[in-house]
Structure 1
């Protein structure tokens, strides 16, 4: 069996954040022990609510940030500590599409120059000439090549994101990290961009790490899904496993929150999380989800203590998957039974 294209082991990124004059600093654990693999030609969907660390994970994979600890291996070679020319060579193989197409493009640079920039940075001169190569890339993503000299403000949001995709494809990378590439776009345009990414994957065999908070988009696009919460992966599995038979209570709560287009749909099974998301500078001990977990009130004292003392491991990082399995039928939504952040 061949090795995965990308392998991430116990990846962590901690930031030191000052608390104010003479007050010292806190350590924010933005990413705290993330592990997964990405196969050639496949898509990993990385999902979770805002602040869970998924975008920081994407920047670590791209090496826009240096990891605090852990390994990132591309074709078996550790790239976490690359510098200089070796890092530049690595970026030929890993590129990124950013969330906001307007802020990721230089307003004073034509779209043709933006797409050509990666080739120039890597000192690559296409045989057919730079302008023709850029025109081919523009055509590939559904843009008119004769608009080479136009500027970003002359394009719609969807067209600007197509420019970003063309720029990411310029070096013919093995992996493209898509950091919420459709969240800033209209719903009608989102489908066009997702279909474009899928067509490119079918034609080239490229691999994606697709970061999103829109579960419906991930369900349509990803082969594997990793659900993040407070810097850690709560559940990891195939798309059918995570969406068809979720095991972790956090995954169940996310999926239950997806709105239904049917106004008569039964909403009684919706799982509501209470309390605020803990600050990543002071995460809960043991299971980081325990302060908001709807399963905890259903457990006896010894099992609750286990959640606070040990870090759960596995594809579904929960100590009590047996109790979570029938969460929808057993959960009591009364105020007395809810779990609060100070429990």
Structure 2
């Protein structure tokens, strides 16, 4: 399948800040920069993996892309049009092109609504009347994701977790979108069911050329699924590149630490080279100056006074947000970091 070289989705210096607490005279006491200067591109028919620890801003970024949250700063361009500037009618048209699969399949479905009605909801909201009839259209969507169309009138509690997530995928596909944002769609599922859902998403992409923003903390899943990777930490992108660049030759110490934490099924594998990050994640209301990762960075203590001062004073930017990637290259990775976990039934 030939892919266009022009980006379908172009995110530029995206930011989202939340006011926390109240100070004197009702003024905001502090601000959490949940997303701070995030930039990336997504091309047609490709998948961008957005990874990082819990609380790093991945899900907030996904909601910003959907305009479920209003950005504080930056631009989100879909085919060159700024999503943040869209008015109500234009936003309705945007919803046809960008849809979302949520993390928890149980909480994302209305327990008092049949799965058929849930899948039909986007079509009704857009005023679309399928020529073949609504029930037949919904039935074909259910069949596409591996559900039995005759279960149209069943309710969510009658389905397993994997089946509920398939309902969520069918609902996201109802409007034939160009981009689907998958917010940790398999994290609540068993490993065997994860494989089925990931394979389903890949098959749909192969058939339709759809693009995905795949938000996850499981690096094994992302390695098998994504074409490009963006690694987030404390609201910022630490490193981004192709799958081979990030997994084959990681340059940021945080990326290396994440890869080294991936478990291996081999109990005899050596733990030598495992990178353990010291300290806790800094408070989002009071992030470190300069490089936000410096307080947990395994190479920071070994830097000279001048090098450390630069990390304290200057925010690193670029594909690898590190002032000293050459020094980080000396960090070892154990065999487990290759993330060769067997997950999918086919590549």
Q: State the TM bucket, normalised to the shorter chain.
A: over 0.9
Aligned partner of 2:14 in structure 1 is 11
Match of 1:184 among 185, 188, 202: 188
Cα offset, 1:234, TM superposition: 0.2
**Which residues of structure 2 form unaligned runs of 5+?**
334-347
The equivalent residue for 1:132 is: 136
Report what 2:218 is aligned to.
Answer: 214
Confirm whether residue 74 of structure 1 aligns to residue 78 of structure 2.
yes
Is 1:327 equivalent to 2:334 in the alignment?
no
SS of 2:157's partner is helix
- 1:306 is matched with which residue? 310
The CA deviation at 1:80 is: 1.5
1 CA distance for matches of 2:311 and 2:166? Answer: 45
For residues 264-308 of structure 1, the C-alpha deviation after alignment (integer angstroms, 9 at most, x for no partner) is 111111000011101111111110000100010111100000001
Asked whether the equivalents of residues 66 and 81 of structure 1 are also in contact (C-alpha less than 8 Å), the reply is no
Q: Are residues 1:118 and 2:94 paired?
A: no
Deviations 1:83-128 (A, max 9, x none): 3111111010000000000000000000000000000000011111
In 1: Cα distance, 2:258 partner to 2:5 partner: 34
TM-score (structure 1 length as normaliser): 0.94
Q: Is the 8 A contact 1:224 1:239 kept in 2?
A: yes
Aligned positions of 1:223-262 closer than 5 A: 223-262=227-266
Whole-angstrom distance in 2 between the partners of 1:118 and 1:224: 29
Distance 2:207 2:285 in 1: 43
Correspondences of 1:149-298 after superposition (within 5 Å): 149-298=153-302
> How far apart are the structure 1 equivalents of 2:293 and 2:87?
36
CA shift, 1:82, in A, is: 1.7
Say if 2:52 is the partner of 1:38.
no
Tell me the TM-score normalised to structure 2 length: 0.93
Look up the match of 1:29. 33
Task: Tell me, yes or no, if the aligned pair for 2:52 and 2:232 is still in contact at 8 Å.
Answer: yes
Gaps spanning 5+ residues in structure 1: where?
Answer: 330-343
* Contact 2:5 2:43 survives alignment (8 Å): no
